[in-house]
Amino acid sequence: MPAEPRHGPQFNTVFVAARAIVDGAERPAVVGVREGHIAAVLTERGDGSSEPGARLRAGETIRLGEDEVLLPGLVDTHVHMNEPGRTEWEGFDTGTRAAAAGGVTTVIDMPLNSVPSTTTVEALARKRDAAAPQVHVDVGFWGGAVPGNVGELADLHAAGVFGFKCFLVDSGVPEFPPLDPAGLAEAIAETARLGALLIVHAEDADAIAAAPAPSGRSYDAYLRSRPPAAEDRAIGRVLRAARETSGRVHVLHLSSAGSLAQLRAARAEDVDVTVETCPHYLAFAAEEIPDGATHLKCAPPIREAENRERLWEALGAGEIDMIVSDHSPCTPELKRRQTGDFGAAWGGIASLELGLPVVWTAARARGHSLADVVRWMAIAPADRIGLSHKGRIAVGADADLVVFDPEAELVVDPTRLRQRNPVSAYAGRRLTGAVRATWLRGERIDPNGDEARGRLLARESAT
Protein backbone atom coordinates (compact mmCIF):
# COMPACT_ATOMS: atom_id res chain seq x y z
CA MET A 1 0.00 0.00 0.00
CA PRO A 2 1.44 3.43 -0.90
CA ALA A 3 2.58 5.57 2.00
CA GLU A 4 0.29 8.39 3.08
CA PRO A 5 1.44 11.90 2.13
CA ARG A 6 3.33 13.64 4.92
CA HIS A 7 1.46 16.88 4.30
CA GLY A 8 -2.05 17.68 3.08
CA PRO A 9 -5.28 15.77 3.58
CA GLN A 10 -5.35 11.99 3.79
CA PHE A 11 -8.99 11.95 2.72
CA ASN A 12 -11.26 13.96 0.48
CA THR A 13 -14.01 13.84 3.12
CA VAL A 14 -14.33 12.58 6.67
CA PHE A 15 -17.73 11.88 8.22
CA VAL A 16 -17.93 12.06 12.00
CA ALA A 17 -21.01 10.39 13.44
CA ALA A 18 -22.00 9.67 17.01
CA ARG A 19 -24.32 7.06 15.49
CA ALA A 20 -23.52 4.95 12.43
CA ILE A 21 -24.48 1.47 11.24
CA VAL A 22 -21.19 -0.41 10.95
CA ASP A 23 -20.62 -4.18 11.08
CA GLY A 24 -24.27 -4.88 11.87
CA ALA A 25 -24.57 -2.55 14.85
CA GLU A 26 -25.12 1.09 15.71
CA ARG A 27 -21.96 2.73 17.07
CA PRO A 28 -19.95 5.96 16.88
CA ALA A 29 -17.74 6.07 13.81
CA VAL A 30 -15.46 8.21 11.73
CA VAL A 31 -15.48 7.34 8.03
CA GLY A 32 -12.72 8.53 5.72
CA VAL A 33 -13.49 8.81 1.99
CA ARG A 34 -10.83 8.90 -0.69
CA GLU A 35 -11.46 8.98 -4.45
CA GLY A 36 -15.04 7.78 -4.11
CA HIS A 37 -14.34 4.84 -1.81
CA ILE A 38 -14.37 4.32 1.92
CA ALA A 39 -10.71 4.23 2.90
CA ALA A 40 -11.01 4.16 6.69
CA VAL A 41 -13.66 3.26 9.25
CA LEU A 42 -12.71 3.99 12.83
CA THR A 43 -15.03 3.19 15.70
CA GLU A 44 -15.06 4.29 19.30
CA ARG A 45 -12.04 3.40 21.44
CA GLY A 46 -12.76 0.90 24.15
CA ASP A 47 -12.17 3.42 26.94
CA GLY A 48 -14.11 6.19 25.15
CA SER A 49 -11.25 8.58 25.95
CA SER A 50 -11.18 10.36 22.60
CA GLU A 51 -13.07 10.72 19.40
CA PRO A 52 -12.01 7.94 17.03
CA GLY A 53 -9.99 9.27 14.14
CA ALA A 54 -9.70 12.72 15.69
CA ARG A 55 -6.42 13.35 13.84
CA LEU A 56 -7.55 12.27 10.38
CA ARG A 57 -6.75 14.98 7.84
CA ALA A 58 -9.50 15.76 5.34
CA GLY A 59 -10.36 18.32 2.70
CA GLU A 60 -13.84 18.47 4.26
CA THR A 61 -15.16 17.19 7.57
CA ILE A 62 -18.87 16.54 7.91
CA ARG A 63 -20.15 16.21 11.47
CA LEU A 64 -23.56 14.67 11.90
CA GLY A 65 -25.94 15.98 14.51
CA GLU A 66 -26.66 13.96 17.63
CA ASP A 67 -30.09 13.20 16.20
CA GLU A 68 -28.70 11.83 12.92
CA VAL A 69 -27.43 8.38 11.93
CA LEU A 70 -24.97 7.57 9.15
CA LEU A 71 -26.28 4.72 7.00
CA PRO A 72 -24.93 3.06 3.87
CA GLY A 73 -26.81 3.87 0.69
CA LEU A 74 -29.72 1.48 0.20
CA VAL A 75 -29.77 -1.06 -2.64
CA ASP A 76 -33.14 -1.59 -4.33
CA THR A 77 -33.12 -4.54 -6.69
CA HIS A 78 -36.79 -4.28 -7.76
CA VAL A 79 -37.53 -1.04 -9.61
CA HIS A 80 -39.55 -0.35 -12.76
CA MET A 81 -38.17 2.74 -14.50
CA ASN A 82 -40.37 2.13 -17.59
CA GLU A 83 -37.97 3.84 -20.01
CA PRO A 84 -37.83 3.72 -22.98
CA GLY A 85 -41.40 3.30 -24.15
CA ARG A 86 -43.46 4.28 -21.11
CA THR A 87 -41.51 7.25 -19.82
CA GLU A 88 -44.77 9.03 -19.02
CA TRP A 89 -45.12 6.47 -16.21
CA GLU A 90 -41.68 7.23 -14.71
CA GLY A 91 -38.26 7.45 -16.43
CA PHE A 92 -34.63 7.31 -15.34
CA ASP A 93 -34.37 11.00 -14.50
CA THR A 94 -37.35 11.26 -12.17
CA GLY A 95 -36.97 7.72 -10.83
CA THR A 96 -33.35 8.14 -9.81
CA ARG A 97 -34.05 11.56 -8.29
CA ALA A 98 -36.69 9.85 -6.14
CA ALA A 99 -34.18 7.15 -5.25
CA ALA A 100 -31.57 9.67 -4.13
CA ALA A 101 -34.11 11.59 -2.06
CA GLY A 102 -35.03 8.32 -0.34
CA GLY A 103 -31.47 7.26 0.46
CA VAL A 104 -31.30 4.65 -2.32
CA THR A 105 -27.98 4.85 -4.15
CA THR A 106 -28.19 1.67 -6.24
CA VAL A 107 -31.20 0.43 -8.21
CA ILE A 108 -31.59 -2.56 -10.51
CA ASP A 109 -34.16 -1.90 -13.22
CA MET A 110 -36.72 -4.53 -14.19
CA PRO A 111 -36.96 -5.71 -17.82
CA LEU A 112 -40.58 -4.54 -18.10
CA ASN A 113 -42.61 -2.20 -18.42
CA SER A 114 -40.27 -0.58 -20.87
CA VAL A 115 -40.76 -0.96 -24.60
CA PRO A 116 -38.96 -2.96 -25.79
CA SER A 117 -38.63 -5.26 -22.81
CA THR A 118 -35.06 -6.19 -21.91
CA THR A 119 -35.19 -9.63 -23.50
CA THR A 120 -32.42 -9.19 -26.09
CA VAL A 121 -28.98 -7.63 -26.13
CA GLU A 122 -30.27 -5.01 -28.54
CA ALA A 123 -33.05 -4.01 -26.14
CA LEU A 124 -30.52 -3.84 -23.29
CA ALA A 125 -28.37 -1.49 -25.38
CA ARG A 126 -31.35 0.77 -26.03
CA LYS A 127 -32.15 0.90 -22.33
CA ARG A 128 -28.56 1.69 -21.40
CA ASP A 129 -28.43 4.44 -24.01
CA ALA A 130 -31.60 5.96 -22.59
CA ALA A 131 -30.38 5.76 -19.01
CA ALA A 132 -26.73 6.79 -19.30
CA PRO A 133 -27.02 10.60 -19.48
CA GLN A 134 -29.67 11.03 -16.81
CA VAL A 135 -29.18 8.72 -13.82
CA HIS A 136 -28.62 10.35 -10.42
CA VAL A 137 -27.75 7.08 -8.68
CA ASP A 138 -26.05 3.90 -9.92
CA VAL A 139 -28.28 1.71 -12.07
CA GLY A 140 -28.02 -1.91 -13.21
CA PHE A 141 -30.40 -4.05 -15.23
CA TRP A 142 -32.22 -7.37 -15.09
CA GLY A 143 -32.81 -9.34 -18.25
CA GLY A 144 -36.12 -10.99 -19.04
CA ALA A 145 -37.01 -14.63 -19.64
CA VAL A 146 -40.08 -14.93 -21.87
CA PRO A 147 -41.39 -17.60 -24.23
CA GLY A 148 -39.01 -18.10 -27.15
CA ASN A 149 -35.97 -16.14 -25.91
CA VAL A 150 -33.98 -18.84 -24.10
CA GLY A 151 -31.37 -18.54 -26.84
CA GLU A 152 -30.84 -14.88 -25.88
CA LEU A 153 -30.05 -15.51 -22.23
CA ALA A 154 -26.37 -16.38 -22.61
CA ASP A 155 -25.63 -13.19 -24.56
CA LEU A 156 -27.56 -11.06 -22.06
CA HIS A 157 -25.67 -12.75 -19.23
CA ALA A 158 -22.35 -11.98 -20.93
CA ALA A 159 -23.50 -8.38 -21.42
CA GLY A 160 -23.76 -7.94 -17.66
CA VAL A 161 -27.40 -8.25 -16.61
CA PHE A 162 -27.77 -9.28 -12.98
CA GLY A 163 -30.08 -12.20 -13.73
CA PHE A 164 -33.39 -12.92 -15.41
CA LYS A 165 -36.96 -12.17 -14.45
CA CYS A 166 -39.92 -14.28 -15.46
CA PHE A 167 -43.66 -14.32 -14.76
CA LEU A 168 -45.76 -17.42 -14.20
CA VAL A 169 -48.96 -15.41 -14.72
CA ASP A 170 -50.00 -12.56 -17.01
CA SER A 171 -47.62 -9.65 -16.43
CA GLY A 172 -50.15 -6.99 -17.33
CA VAL A 173 -48.27 -5.92 -20.48
CA PRO A 174 -48.50 -7.89 -23.73
CA GLU A 175 -44.85 -7.60 -24.68
CA PHE A 176 -43.72 -9.58 -21.61
CA PRO A 177 -45.72 -12.85 -21.62
CA PRO A 178 -45.49 -15.47 -18.87
CA LEU A 179 -43.71 -18.80 -18.94
CA ASP A 180 -45.80 -21.96 -18.84
CA PRO A 181 -44.44 -24.98 -16.89
CA ALA A 182 -42.38 -26.16 -19.86
CA GLY A 183 -41.03 -22.65 -20.42
CA LEU A 184 -40.04 -22.35 -16.76
CA ALA A 185 -38.21 -25.68 -16.95
CA GLU A 186 -36.35 -24.54 -20.06
CA ALA A 187 -35.44 -21.16 -18.58
CA ILE A 188 -34.17 -22.49 -15.27
CA ALA A 189 -32.12 -25.16 -17.00
CA GLU A 190 -30.38 -22.43 -18.99
CA THR A 191 -29.89 -20.06 -16.05
CA ALA A 192 -28.51 -22.95 -14.00
CA ARG A 193 -26.05 -23.70 -16.81
CA LEU A 194 -24.99 -20.06 -16.84
CA GLY A 195 -24.84 -19.77 -13.05
CA ALA A 196 -27.34 -16.93 -13.37
CA LEU A 197 -30.06 -15.92 -10.95
CA LEU A 198 -33.69 -16.50 -12.01
CA ILE A 199 -36.09 -14.14 -10.25
CA VAL A 200 -39.75 -15.09 -10.37
CA HIS A 201 -43.11 -13.39 -10.10
CA ALA A 202 -44.62 -16.45 -8.51
CA GLU A 203 -48.39 -16.65 -8.90
CA ASP A 204 -50.07 -19.68 -10.44
CA ALA A 205 -52.11 -18.84 -13.54
CA ASP A 206 -54.52 -21.76 -13.09
CA ALA A 207 -55.31 -20.80 -9.49
CA ILE A 208 -56.04 -17.24 -10.54
CA ALA A 209 -58.14 -18.37 -13.50
CA ALA A 210 -60.25 -20.47 -11.12
CA ALA A 211 -60.82 -17.54 -8.74
CA PRO A 212 -63.57 -14.96 -9.32
CA ALA A 213 -62.45 -12.22 -11.69
CA PRO A 214 -61.94 -8.83 -10.03
CA SER A 215 -64.36 -6.06 -10.88
CA GLY A 216 -65.95 -3.12 -9.16
CA ARG A 217 -64.94 -1.21 -6.04
CA SER A 218 -64.71 -4.05 -3.50
CA TYR A 219 -61.18 -4.63 -2.19
CA ASP A 220 -62.31 -7.90 -0.67
CA ALA A 221 -63.37 -9.08 -4.13
CA TYR A 222 -59.98 -8.13 -5.53
CA LEU A 223 -58.25 -10.01 -2.72
CA ARG A 224 -60.28 -13.15 -3.48
CA SER A 225 -59.25 -12.90 -7.14
CA ARG A 226 -55.58 -13.54 -6.22
CA PRO A 227 -55.74 -16.09 -3.38
CA PRO A 228 -52.73 -17.16 -1.30
CA ALA A 229 -52.88 -20.56 -3.00
CA ALA A 230 -51.77 -18.90 -6.23
CA GLU A 231 -48.51 -17.84 -4.63
CA ASP A 232 -48.05 -21.03 -2.68
CA ARG A 233 -48.45 -23.29 -5.74
CA ALA A 234 -46.19 -21.19 -7.94
CA ILE A 235 -43.46 -20.99 -5.32
CA GLY A 236 -43.67 -24.77 -4.91
CA ARG A 237 -43.15 -25.17 -8.67
CA VAL A 238 -40.13 -22.85 -8.61
CA LEU A 239 -38.58 -24.73 -5.70
CA ARG A 240 -39.05 -28.09 -7.43
CA ALA A 241 -37.39 -26.73 -10.56
CA ALA A 242 -34.48 -25.39 -8.51
CA ARG A 243 -34.00 -28.77 -6.82
CA GLU A 244 -33.98 -30.57 -10.16
CA THR A 245 -31.47 -28.23 -11.82
CA SER A 246 -29.45 -26.86 -8.87
CA GLY A 247 -30.53 -23.48 -10.20
CA ARG A 248 -30.29 -20.22 -8.29
CA VAL A 249 -33.71 -18.65 -7.69
CA HIS A 250 -35.21 -15.63 -6.00
CA VAL A 251 -38.87 -15.20 -5.09
CA LEU A 252 -40.14 -11.72 -5.78
CA HIS A 253 -42.52 -9.67 -3.58
CA LEU A 254 -43.70 -12.40 -1.21
CA SER A 255 -47.10 -11.53 0.19
CA SER A 256 -48.38 -14.97 1.30
CA ALA A 257 -46.96 -16.06 4.63
CA GLY A 258 -48.36 -19.50 3.83
CA SER A 259 -45.33 -20.15 1.62
CA LEU A 260 -42.79 -19.70 4.40
CA ALA A 261 -42.82 -23.36 5.47
CA GLN A 262 -41.94 -24.70 2.02
CA LEU A 263 -39.26 -22.06 1.61
CA ARG A 264 -37.80 -23.05 4.97
CA ALA A 265 -37.81 -26.71 3.95
CA ALA A 266 -36.11 -25.96 0.64
CA ARG A 267 -33.32 -24.09 2.37
CA ALA A 268 -32.84 -27.01 4.73
CA GLU A 269 -32.20 -29.07 1.59
CA ASP A 270 -29.62 -26.50 0.40
CA VAL A 271 -31.76 -25.13 -2.41
CA ASP A 272 -30.22 -21.81 -3.44
CA VAL A 273 -33.28 -19.59 -2.88
CA THR A 274 -33.74 -16.11 -1.49
CA VAL A 275 -36.94 -14.20 -0.80
CA GLU A 276 -37.97 -10.56 -0.76
CA THR A 277 -41.00 -8.71 0.48
CA CYS A 278 -42.01 -5.07 0.01
CA PRO A 279 -42.87 -2.08 2.21
CA HIS A 280 -46.57 -2.15 1.31
CA TYR A 281 -46.99 -5.74 2.53
CA LEU A 282 -45.43 -4.70 5.85
CA ALA A 283 -47.27 -1.40 6.32
CA PHE A 284 -50.86 -2.08 5.23
CA ALA A 285 -53.51 -4.71 5.97
CA ALA A 286 -56.46 -5.77 3.85
CA GLU A 287 -58.94 -5.03 6.63
CA GLU A 288 -57.92 -1.35 6.52
CA ILE A 289 -58.26 -0.84 2.76
CA PRO A 290 -61.55 0.85 1.82
CA ASP A 291 -63.51 -0.01 -1.26
CA GLY A 292 -62.42 1.99 -4.29
CA ALA A 293 -58.88 2.56 -2.96
CA THR A 294 -57.21 1.51 -6.20
CA HIS A 295 -53.99 3.34 -5.28
CA LEU A 296 -53.42 0.28 -3.05
CA LYS A 297 -53.86 -2.27 -5.82
CA CYS A 298 -50.81 -4.45 -6.44
CA ALA A 299 -50.13 -8.05 -7.38
CA PRO A 300 -49.78 -10.16 -5.34
CA PRO A 301 -52.25 -8.22 -3.18
CA ILE A 302 -51.89 -6.76 0.28
CA ARG A 303 -53.28 -9.43 2.61
CA GLU A 304 -54.71 -9.48 6.14
CA ALA A 305 -53.07 -8.16 9.30
CA GLU A 306 -52.36 -11.64 10.66
CA ASN A 307 -50.48 -12.46 7.45
CA ARG A 308 -48.54 -9.18 7.69
CA GLU A 309 -47.35 -10.00 11.20
CA ARG A 310 -46.15 -13.40 10.03
CA LEU A 311 -44.08 -11.66 7.38
CA TRP A 312 -42.51 -9.48 10.07
CA GLU A 313 -41.75 -12.56 12.17
CA ALA A 314 -40.09 -14.18 9.14
CA LEU A 315 -37.94 -11.11 8.59
CA GLY A 316 -36.82 -11.21 12.19
CA ALA A 317 -36.01 -14.92 11.89
CA GLY A 318 -34.05 -14.47 8.66
CA GLU A 319 -36.56 -16.46 6.60
CA ILE A 320 -37.24 -13.42 4.39
CA ASP A 321 -33.93 -12.01 3.24
CA MET A 322 -34.67 -8.49 2.08
CA ILE A 323 -37.10 -5.63 1.58
CA VAL A 324 -37.23 -3.90 -1.81
CA SER A 325 -39.73 -1.44 -3.21
CA ASP A 326 -41.24 -3.04 -6.34
CA HIS A 327 -41.57 0.60 -7.39
CA SER A 328 -44.19 0.23 -10.13
CA PRO A 329 -45.60 3.64 -11.03
CA CYS A 330 -48.11 4.66 -13.65
CA THR A 331 -50.03 7.74 -14.72
CA PRO A 332 -52.91 8.87 -12.46
CA GLU A 333 -55.48 7.91 -15.09
CA LEU A 334 -54.41 4.26 -15.03
CA LYS A 335 -55.25 3.97 -11.32
CA ARG A 336 -58.94 4.60 -12.13
CA ARG A 337 -59.48 6.63 -8.97
CA GLN A 338 -62.62 8.19 -10.43
CA THR A 339 -64.39 4.83 -10.62
CA GLY A 340 -62.43 2.88 -8.01
CA ASP A 341 -62.68 -0.22 -10.19
CA PHE A 342 -60.09 -2.76 -9.04
CA GLY A 343 -60.60 -4.82 -12.16
CA ALA A 344 -59.69 -1.95 -14.47
CA ALA A 345 -56.95 -0.20 -12.43
CA TRP A 346 -53.23 -0.73 -13.00
CA GLY A 347 -51.68 -2.81 -10.22
CA GLY A 348 -48.53 -1.26 -8.84
CA ILE A 349 -47.31 0.86 -5.93
CA ALA A 350 -44.72 3.63 -6.27
CA SER A 351 -42.58 3.89 -3.15
CA LEU A 352 -38.94 4.39 -4.13
CA GLU A 353 -38.57 7.65 -2.22
CA LEU A 354 -40.55 6.47 0.82
CA GLY A 355 -39.34 2.93 1.43
CA LEU A 356 -36.91 3.78 4.23
CA PRO A 357 -39.31 5.78 6.43
CA VAL A 358 -42.17 3.35 5.71
CA VAL A 359 -40.11 0.36 6.81
CA TRP A 360 -38.50 2.16 9.74
CA THR A 361 -41.87 3.37 11.04
CA ALA A 362 -43.23 -0.18 11.07
CA ALA A 363 -39.99 -1.87 12.15
CA ARG A 364 -39.34 0.25 15.24
CA ALA A 365 -42.94 -0.34 16.37
CA ARG A 366 -42.09 -4.06 16.43
CA GLY A 367 -38.79 -3.70 18.26
CA HIS A 368 -36.44 -3.86 15.29
CA SER A 369 -33.35 -1.68 14.98
CA LEU A 370 -31.88 0.48 12.25
CA ALA A 371 -29.18 -2.17 11.87
CA ASP A 372 -31.95 -4.63 10.97
CA VAL A 373 -33.33 -2.21 8.38
CA VAL A 374 -29.88 -1.76 6.84
CA ARG A 375 -29.42 -5.52 6.64
CA TRP A 376 -32.79 -5.95 4.88
CA MET A 377 -32.58 -2.93 2.56
CA ALA A 378 -28.87 -2.57 1.78
CA ILE A 379 -26.61 -5.50 2.65
CA ALA A 380 -28.82 -8.44 1.66
CA PRO A 381 -29.91 -7.10 -1.75
CA ALA A 382 -26.32 -6.13 -2.62
CA ASP A 383 -24.95 -9.49 -1.59
CA ARG A 384 -27.52 -11.50 -3.54
CA ILE A 385 -26.58 -9.84 -6.82
CA GLY A 386 -22.85 -9.81 -6.17
CA LEU A 387 -22.30 -6.11 -5.43
CA SER A 388 -19.95 -6.57 -2.50
CA HIS A 389 -18.84 -2.92 -2.70
CA LYS A 390 -22.38 -1.58 -2.17
CA GLY A 391 -24.75 -1.35 0.78
CA ARG A 392 -22.24 -1.21 3.65
CA ILE A 393 -19.94 1.11 5.54
CA ALA A 394 -16.69 -0.80 5.18
CA VAL A 395 -13.20 -0.19 3.87
CA GLY A 396 -13.13 -0.68 0.11
CA ALA A 397 -16.86 -0.11 -0.40
CA ASP A 398 -18.18 2.73 -2.53
CA ALA A 399 -18.71 5.83 -0.42
CA ASP A 400 -22.49 5.70 -0.82
CA LEU A 401 -23.72 7.25 2.42
CA VAL A 402 -26.97 8.56 3.86
CA VAL A 403 -27.65 10.92 6.74
CA PHE A 404 -30.91 9.80 8.33
CA ASP A 405 -32.92 11.40 11.12
CA PRO A 406 -34.79 8.48 12.72
CA GLU A 407 -37.03 10.70 14.87
CA ALA A 408 -38.25 13.18 12.26
CA GLU A 409 -41.93 12.97 11.35
CA LEU A 410 -43.50 13.64 7.98
CA VAL A 411 -46.92 13.43 6.42
CA VAL A 412 -46.74 12.17 2.84
CA ASP A 413 -47.74 14.74 0.23
CA PRO A 414 -47.58 13.06 -3.20
CA THR A 415 -47.12 16.41 -4.94
CA ARG A 416 -43.76 16.85 -3.19
CA LEU A 417 -42.32 13.49 -4.24
CA ARG A 418 -39.68 13.42 -7.00
CA GLN A 419 -41.32 10.55 -8.92
CA ARG A 420 -42.94 11.62 -12.18
CA ASN A 421 -46.60 11.21 -11.15
CA PRO A 422 -48.18 12.30 -7.85
CA VAL A 423 -49.77 8.93 -7.10
CA SER A 424 -48.95 7.32 -3.76
CA ALA A 425 -50.46 4.59 -1.62
CA TYR A 426 -49.02 6.51 1.33
CA ALA A 427 -50.76 9.84 0.67
CA GLY A 428 -51.60 11.49 3.99
CA ARG A 429 -49.83 8.79 6.01
CA ARG A 430 -47.69 9.93 8.95
CA LEU A 431 -44.22 8.38 8.88
CA THR A 432 -41.18 8.51 11.13
CA GLY A 433 -37.70 9.06 9.74
CA ALA A 434 -36.32 11.41 7.10
CA VAL A 435 -33.33 11.34 4.78
CA ARG A 436 -31.32 14.53 5.28
CA ALA A 437 -28.61 13.98 2.65
CA THR A 438 -27.29 11.33 0.28
CA TRP A 439 -23.76 10.83 -1.09
CA LEU A 440 -22.84 8.71 -4.11
CA ARG A 441 -19.18 7.66 -4.21
CA GLY A 442 -18.32 10.55 -1.90
CA GLU A 443 -20.22 13.24 -3.83
CA ARG A 444 -23.37 14.73 -2.38
CA ILE A 445 -26.44 14.26 -4.60
CA ASP A 446 -28.88 17.11 -5.05
CA PRO A 447 -32.17 15.39 -6.01
CA ASN A 448 -33.32 18.70 -7.51
CA GLY A 449 -30.07 19.50 -9.31
CA ASP A 450 -29.01 19.18 -12.92
CA GLU A 451 -25.88 17.07 -12.53
CA ALA A 452 -26.46 13.33 -12.98
CA ARG A 453 -23.53 11.54 -11.32
CA GLY A 454 -24.85 7.99 -11.49
CA ARG A 455 -23.13 5.19 -13.38
CA LEU A 456 -24.46 2.17 -15.19
CA LEU A 457 -23.56 -1.10 -13.47
CA ALA A 458 -22.90 -4.54 -14.88
CA ARG A 459 -22.64 -7.85 -13.06
CA GLU A 460 -19.10 -7.91 -11.74
CA SER A 461 -18.15 -11.22 -13.35
CA ALA A 462 -19.53 -10.26 -16.78
CA THR A 463 -17.17 -10.73 -19.69
In the predicted structure, residue 46 carries a pLDDT above the cut 60: no
The per-residue pLDDT for 360 is: 98
pLDDT category at 57 given cuts 50, 70, 90 is confident
Average of pLDDT values for 401-429?
97
pLDDT category at 49 given cuts 50, 70, 90 is very low
Q: Global pTM?
A: 0.96
In the predicted structure, residue 420 carries a pLDDT above the cut 60: yes
How high is the mean pLDDT of the chain? 95
Average of pLDDT values for 168-173?
97
Q: Which amino acid is at 262?
A: Q
The per-residue pLDDT for 462 is: 64
The per-residue pLDDT for 9 is: 77
Q: What is the pLDDT of residues 425-462, one digit of tens each?
A: 999 999 999 999 999 999 999 999 999 999 999 998 76
In the predicted structure, residue 28 carries a pLDDT above the cut 50: yes
Whole-Å CA distances, 396 to 35, 222, 380, 443, 457: 11, 48, 18, 16, 17
Q: What is the pLDDT of residues 317-357, one digit of tens each?
A: 999 999 999 999 999 999 999 999 999 999 999 999 999 99
Average of pLDDT values for 91-95?
98
Buried b (16+ CB within 10 A) or exposed e, 77-90: bbbbbbbbbbbebb
In the predicted structure, residue 133 carries a pLDDT above the cut 70: yes
Q: What is the pLDDT of residues 241-268, one digit of tens each?
A: 999 999 999 999 999 999 999 999 999 9
The per-residue pLDDT for 52 is: 55
Query: Does domain 73-390+409-431 sit in CATH 3.90.79.10?
Result: no
Separation between Cα atoms, residue 179 and residue 2, nearest integer Å:
53
Domain parsing of the chain, residue ranges: 11-66, 73-390+409-431
* Higher-confidence position of 5 and 127: 127
Q: What is the pLDDT of residues 175-212, one digit of tens each?
A: 999 999 999 999 999 999 999 999 999 999 999 999 99
Provide the percentage of residues in the chain whose pLDDT is more than 90: 94
Q: What is the pLDDT of residues 229-245, one digit of tens each?
A: 999 999 999 999 999 99
Q: What is the pLDDT of residues 60-71, one digit of tens each?
A: 999 999 999 999
In the predicted structure, residue 115 carries a pLDDT above the cut 90: yes
The per-residue pLDDT for 1 is: 30
